[in-house]
């Protein structure tokens, strides 16, 4: 039941952002709010568990990508840059990241720490592949800053609304540009 509540809460979060209520969730599940609180002591705990589950899902995906010998180095980088939690499906709500930052600072800190860990793993991967000549030499700190800054901007509610894009669309476009640059497709 706990997992069923978690999945339904993630759906509420995707459609309403973190402003969904426990009443909304209870209605979705045809349960009483009391039943929800038997499994989660608070909405904060529920949001925390959603974030934790999503980050674990992405860690698993990362490992699969890094371990996949059928992918080239560039294909791995592109796949790493455009990951989103499979367990909950793509996040299309424009406000989730902004709302987490404002209303759930501890959970937002979890997201930021996780993104920093991801960035460090990707940076190590790039450096390793520069040393093995699988990638050309680039200024790695600039690449790291570029990816970090672009991700921050792409995940903002304002950018996504103005561009009429989902988070997944924006991340895929960023990954394509960073990996393949501006070279013509026929090259």
Domain ranges of the chain: 2-180
pLDDT in tens, 17-32: 888 899 999 999 999 9
pLDDT in tens, 97-146: 778 888 999 999 998 999 899 999 999 999 999 999 999 999 999 999 98
Q: What would the CATH number be for the domain defined by 2-180? A: 1.10.357.10
Q: What pTM did the predictor assign? A: 0.83
Cβ 48 vs Cβ 110: under 8 Å: yes
């Amino acid at each position: 039941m706990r997992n069923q509540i978690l999945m339904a809460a993630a759906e509420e979060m995707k459609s309403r952002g973190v402003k969904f209520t426990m009443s909304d969730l209870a209605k979705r599940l045809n349960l009483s709010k009391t039943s929800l609180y038997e499994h989660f002591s608070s909405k904060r705990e529920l949001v925390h568990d959603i974030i934790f589950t999503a980050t674990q899902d992405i860690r698993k995906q990362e490992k699969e990508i890094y371990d996949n010998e059928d992918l080239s180095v560039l294909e791995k980088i592109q796949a790493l840059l455009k990951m989103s939690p499979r367990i909950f499906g793509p996040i299309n709500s424009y406000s989730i990241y902004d709302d987490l930052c404002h209303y759930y600072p501890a959970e937002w800190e979890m997201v930021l720490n996780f993104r920093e860990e991801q960035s460090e793993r990707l940076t190590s991967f790039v450096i390793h592949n520069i040393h093995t000549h699988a990638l050309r030499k680039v200024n790695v700190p600039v690449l790291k800053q570029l990816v970090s800054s672009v991700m921050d901007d792409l995940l903002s509610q304002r950018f996504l609304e103005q561009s009429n894009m989902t988070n997944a669309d924006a991340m895929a476009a960023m990954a394509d540009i960073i990996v393949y640059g501006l070279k013509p497709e026929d090259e």
